[in-house]
Amino acid sequence: MLVNKKSLDVLVTDTEFIINWLRTANYMSEDLRKSFFLSMKSLLHIPKDSDLTEEYNELIYKIFSNVGSPANYNEGNGSIKDSVAHFVKYVILPVETTEAKVSHFNLLEELIQWHWGFKELFKNGNFCKYLLNRNQSELKPLLEVKYEFVKKVISSPFYDAKMECIDSTIAEQLKNYYKNGIYGVEIEEIDNVHTFQVATEGSG
C-alpha cells in the first residue's frame, strides 16, 4: 500500500496509527529502526508512470516532516530539517554496519525524488561532508551505493543550472566525485582543495 500509494488517504485518517508508527523511528532496537526505515522508504517511493497529486505530496510531506515530532502530527507539518537530520545521523554513524548503511542510502534515493527532500538533504552539512569524503576504510558495497547515489543526484531534475536546490560548490564536487569513479583515492590536499586519482577496483 505504501509503495503504490493506494488508499494512503484512508490510512492517514487513523492518526494514532501514524503517530505510533512514527515513534518507532526513535526506538533503540536496531530491528525496529530497520523496519521503520524500510517502511519510510516505501512511503517515499514514487511508482513509475505515476501521477501523484498535490494531495499525496502534502500527505507524504506531513508524515515525513513529523519523524522527529510524532506527537505533533495532528497539528500539521513538522520540521523537514529535523527529519532529514534523523536519517542522516544513522547514515554517518561509524557503528552502523555496511549492510545498514546501504539500506539507508536506498531510502535517500527515494527521498531525493521529492523537491523538498532533495533540497533539505543537501542543506545538511554533515551529510554532504560524509558523502564527499573518500574514506578508504569503507567496504566495496558501500562505495558502490554511494557512487550510484551521486549518479542519481546529478541526473536529477532538481540538479539544474540555476542550482536552486543545491549549493553550486557542492554540485561541482559531486560532479567531480562521479567523474573520478567508484574507487577514487585522494592523493593530495592543498589549501583545502582535494585531488583524486581513480584506484583499481576493490581498493576500498
28-83 per-position pLDDT tens digit? 777 788 889 999 999 999 888 777 678 889 999 999 999 999 999 999 999 999 99
**95 in any annotated domain:** no
Q: The domain containing residue 181 runs over which residues? A: 115-204
Helices 98-111 and 30-44 meet at what angle, rounded to 10? 30
Note the pLDDT of residue 191: 55
Note the pLDDT of residue 136: 61
**132 in any annotated domain:** yes
pLDDT value at 190 more than 70: no
Sequence-separated (6 or more) residues with CB below 8 Å from residue 68: 25, 78, 79, 82, 83, 85, 86
Report the alpha-carbon distance of residue 204 to residue 136 in Å, rounded: 5
pLDDT value at 188 more than 80: no
Which pLDDT tens digit goes with each residue over 145-178?
999 999 999 999 999 888 899 999 999 999 999 9
Domain count, the chain: 1
**26 in any annotated domain:** no
**68 in any annotated domain:** no
- Residue 7 CB neighbour total at 10 angstroms: 10
Provide the pLDDT confidence category of residue 11 given band limits of 50, 70 and 90.
Answer: confident
Note the pLDDT of residue 184: 83
Are 98 and 142 in contact, with CB atoms under 8 Å apart? yes
C-alpha count within 13 angstroms, C-beta hemisphere, residue 33? 15
Compare 177 and 187 and report the one with higher pLDDT.
Answer: 177
DSSP H or E stretch at residue 194: strand 193-198
Region class of 59: left (phi > 0), else alpha (psi between -120 and 50), else beta: alpha
Provide the pLDDT confidence category of residue 8 given band limits of 50, 70 and 90.
Answer: confident
pLDDT value at 13 more than 60: yes
Note the pLDDT of residue 5: 79
As a whole number of Å, the CA-based R_g of the chain is 18
Note the pLDDT of residue 186: 54
Compare 154 and 11 and report the one with higher pLDDT.
Answer: 154
Note the pLDDT of residue 109: 97
Q: What's the whole-number mean pLDDT along residues 107-121?
A: 96
